[in-house]
């Protein structure tokens, strides 16, 4: 009976974690360049597999150990491209990430909602990270001039090529680590030339599907509720057995 409580408690915790991941996706349904996360379940092996005990020493040894969240993975699926008309809004059509930095570390993002600051840099909404050339040097654009950005990243100021935005691709996007604020750390991923193109005056919308996430949220809530009901039933049964035991004594 106690074993059943452990199993359902593990199931409830897993569904609660899954619900948290889905809630974060829903909260970013309007965040430019955001890519949804997916919570992946993993079954815990039987006791005879998890420990060096003799195989199936007791009947419980053959029973699995419930499930847990093995990890959270990013769905690297591009969102729709929405035209904004703002000259510093940039979208990547296809493969690639914008290199940005806070002056200490180069990170990567798909969110191209940049603004022009007093130093001529293209800054992210957090005000800390600015578009760089990949080596940590900022892309600087003078104020009060006509600016155009070509599909290959060439930045022309007053008709003259002045800077170049080099978007970066990766051999395995699944090795990119989320850092919050729509940023990724690429320390564990191998960089390569990106095949995507830059589109000025547009933003990539969030890759979250509200319909899919709502359906997944309902499934997580029902799974959590079912596990909690089983915990209550087993607790009541255990209490009844203890009462019977006391009466017999």
pTM greater than the 0.85 cutoff:
no
49: containing domain: 2-77+208-248
How high does pLDDT run on average in the chain?
87
What pLDDT was estimated at residue 7?
81
My answer on whether 62 and 169 are in the same domain is no
Q: How many domains are there within the chain?
A: 2
My answer on whether 102 and 198 are in the same domain is yes
Query: How does residue 249 score in pLDDT terms, banded at 50, 70 and 90?
Result: low
The burial of 243, by beta-carbon neighbours within 10 Å (0-12 exposed, 13-18 middle, 19 or more buried), is given as exposed
My answer on whether 192 and 217 are in the same domain is no
For residue range 149-185, list pLDDT tens digits in order: 999 999 999 888 888 999 999 999 999 999 988 999 9
Contact 108, 100 (CB under 8 A): yes
For residue range 101-127, list pLDDT tens digits in order: 998 899 999 999 999 999 999 999 988
Q: Report which DSSP code applies to 175.
A: G
My answer on whether 131 and 85 are in the same domain is yes
The burial of 143, by beta-carbon neighbours within 10 Å (0-12 exposed, 13-18 middle, 19 or more buried), is given as exposed
My answer on whether 128 and 191 are in the same domain is yes
For residue range 8-55, list pLDDT tens digits in order: 888 888 889 999 999 999 999 999 999 999 988 877 766 556 666 555
């Amino acid at each position: 009976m106690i074993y059943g409580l452990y199993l359902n408690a593990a199931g409830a915790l897993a569904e609660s974690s899954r619900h948290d991941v889905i809630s974060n996706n829903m909260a970013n349904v309007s965040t430019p360049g955001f890519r949804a996360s997916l919570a992946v379940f993993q079954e815990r092996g039987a006791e005879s597999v998890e420990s060096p005990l003799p195989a199936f020493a007791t009947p419980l040894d053959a029973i699995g150990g419930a499930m847990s969240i093995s990890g959270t993975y990013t769905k690297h699926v591009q969102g729709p491209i929405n035209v904004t008309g703002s000259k510093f809004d940039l979208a990547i059509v296809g493969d690639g990430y914008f290199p940005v930095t806070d002056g200490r570390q180069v990170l990567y993002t798909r969110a191209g909602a940049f603004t022009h600051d007093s130093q001529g840099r293209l800054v992210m909404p957090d005000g800390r990270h600015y578009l760089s050339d990949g080596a940590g040097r900022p892309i600087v654009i003078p104020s009060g001039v006509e600016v155009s950005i070509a599909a290959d990243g060439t930045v022309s100021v007053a008709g003259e090529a002045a800077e170049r935005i080099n978007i970066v691709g990766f051999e395995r996007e699944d090795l990119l680590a989320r850092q919050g604020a729509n940023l990724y750390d690429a320390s564990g991923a191998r960089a390569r030339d990106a095949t995507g193109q830059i589109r000025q005056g547009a933003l990539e919308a969030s890759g979250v599907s509200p319909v899919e996430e709502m359906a997944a949220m309902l499934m997580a809530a029902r799974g959590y509720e079912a596990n909690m009901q089983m915990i209550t039933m087993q607790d009541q049964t255990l209490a009844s057995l203890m009462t019977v035991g006391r009466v017999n004594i």
